[in-house]
Structure 1
């Protein structure tokens, strides 16, 4: 049937290779494949995924061809098999057909690509340690926290905390504006805030580990103009949509639960520095959680929405959708699923409205402040200069991304061109 090497007549993927469920990227359904030995993630189409998921060493090529023909109403010819096995050999995914030198090259390429993607003036990552063993030891003790018996009551508590902060907002703001806090209280507020943010990231990692993923990196991330901890949970692409949503939500969930003691301090505490500290943490913590849930910022809420809709990258695919629509008309987007056309159209319009509102408020606030300090003329000049600088930075970043994407093959991508 084919000229594929006889050792592959009953093909088997290497031990540890993980195949993920499908996600939509524009018009295409893609599946992620993880090779834990090299750290590479590949994207394949549903037809390749169909064949790879059946390469368990028990089926011959004739068996695979018959199942494929029964599902896709198409026979696989020798050329298709050669291309498929060529790709598998290039990525070292087949059992019994690996080359240690090739695996080492793939490992180095994946590590270099990851480092290059997060190195720049506006964003960078600084890894601190590998938490996988720590999480593996903690999970058996924390297993009850992942049951519905804990999650549902805890979620009600989180909603109660958010509601209480909203109802008591004037009192909390008055306490925070009071000022006159001792330096130790200010330092305590900073330390506690960073501790909660660290717990937030650990919650993402522990949830990812609970669902079978691995977490090999916790560090500090620079994303202009903020510096914050991060936890790398790349294995989330291998989960079902519901588990991806849960992993993305875990950070905000734990952050809000961490505020419960400060609600108690605020409600039952006496006036003083400790109660003012509780007010500050309640306001800042709740505001941070709310911002995290805004689906137009690339934070937890954005990823929750993308995962709930089972879309790989909602923002990027929305840009691509509107680009094709505006350049080529309705015919260029007819290949999208009807539901996705509605989602991309509405998300694009909502994003534009959100960005315009935020930009208008920021410009107005900054203009009023500048005009108070230097006069209206200089305020306008400064705003124009800042706008030009931001446009130049955005253009430079776009060129950098374009050069990075065009500089070579993506080590984490396998295109669907063979079957």
Structure 2
């Protein structure tokens, strides 16, 4: 990733970022040398250098063992180890994999798209999405009837159609990943923070993509797809009336809500992932919450966080606190939205 070396663990499916110096040391960890052998080799009989190398090597080896990467060390998350499990519960997000067949289904399409210039494909997608969102905003502002007129069948139909739009969103991510030859691991559904249902594609292997721009496009693919679909829904609303118009207006509202959620940097969203890819900051959110947990529990910081500067530490803590507060707000809002949702549904039967 960005020419930064990564260790891939095939047992857990996780990637571990290391330094170029660590990458050189890995080549010597073949089971034939002890720690002292390595110190002697790298220090070349320089006693002062050997003392420094001993401390550095001990830290590096301890980090590898803690991550379960040394032979004989147990994986840190044994209950979720392996990429073949259909149900997983890590990262505050219980997940169920529905299918792993998308790479097979999408490869013929990806093969055709690879024959076209990548820049042209991105340009067309951006123009299509921008046009679609613009048309959708215009339509929503000019064609939306009174809220009470939208209750009933339009709400139920729009709710039934919305999962298809979400499926198209996730398929767009999968298609770009397939185009980049890093197929997704699975398509599934999850319960984010144990209360928010979401669909997802596991694109962990995007770390293998070297260029930042390609990873940004992969992160934004779903939002670009939503923009094109938003334009199609808006055109339908502009050229219809009655139930069809009401349903498509409802769909537009749901799509704009989905856009806000997907762009929100306080969530593990597409917008956050795109920012992470653009800046080269891998796993910044995880580092922020790890720092917050250890600070609140007054526990020693992990090695990769112990050397953070004061400014960086404050920024990470501020982000973690803001994100946690936002999640609490979302839970509160979803709880209070239940009565309104029930009213819309009951309007179908005239109650």
- TM-score, normalization by structure 1: 0.57
Counterpart position of 1:335: 307
SS at match of 1:295: coil
**Aligned equivalent of 1:221, options 180, 190, 193:** 190
CA separation of 1:34/1:172 partners in 2, compared to 1, >3 Å: closer, same or farther?
farther
Residue matched to 1:139: 110
1:300 is aligned to 2:267:
no
Q: In structure 2, the residue corresponding to 1:230 is in which secondary structure?
A: strand
- Helix, strand or coil: the match of 2:145? helix
Residue ranges of structure 2 left out of the alignment (5+ in a row): 30-37, 73-77, 341-351
In the other structure, the counterpart of 2:288 is: 318
Quick check: 1:265 aligned with 2:265? no
Shift of 1:200: 1.0
Output the CA distance in 2 between the equivalents of 1:146 and 1:295: 30
Structure 1's 121 and 293: CA in aligned 2 closer, same or farther, altered over 3 A? Answer: closer
Shift of 1:235: 0.1
Deviations 1:356-375 (A, max 9, x none): 7x379849x949x89xxxxx
CA contact (8 A) 1:204 1:251 kept: yes
Counterpart for residue 90 of structure 1: 71
- Is 1:211 the counterpart of 2:185 in the alignment? no
Query: Cα distance, 1:256 vs. partner?
Result: 1.8
Counterpart CA distance in 1 for 2:161 and 2:116 is: 22
**Quick check: 1:286 aligned with 2:225?**
no
Question: RMSD in angstroms over aligned alpha carbons?
Answer: 4.9
Give deviations 1:208-266, integer Å, cap 9, x for gaps.
22223122322333444344432111202223443332222111111221122122222
Q: Does structure 2 conserve the Cα–Cα contact (< 8 Å) formed by 1:20 and 1:33? A: no
Structure 1: segments with no counterpart, 5+ residues: 1-18, 23-30, 56-63, 92-106, 371-419
Distance 1:243 1:161, change over 3 A: same
Rounded Cα–Cα distance in structure 2 between residues aligned with 1:217 and 1:142: 21
Q: Which structure 2 residues correspond to residues 70-109 of structure 1 after superposition, within 5 A?
A: 90=71
> Partner residue of 1:395?
none
**Which structure carries more relative contact order (alpha carbon 8 Å, separation 6+)?**
1
Q: Which is greater in Rg?
A: 1
TM-score of the two chains, using structure 2 as the length reference = 0.66
Q: 1:43 is paired with a residue of what secondary structure?
A: strand
Question: Structure 1's 167 and 108: CA in aligned 2 closer, same or farther, altered over 3 A?
Answer: closer
**Would the alpha carbon gap of residues 211 and 337 (structure 1) be closer, same or farther in structure 2, given more than 3 Å must change?**
farther
- Distance in 2 (CA, whole Å) between partners of 1:35 and 1:352 is 30
Do the aligned partners of 1:33 and 1:42 also contact (CA within 8 Å) in 2?
yes
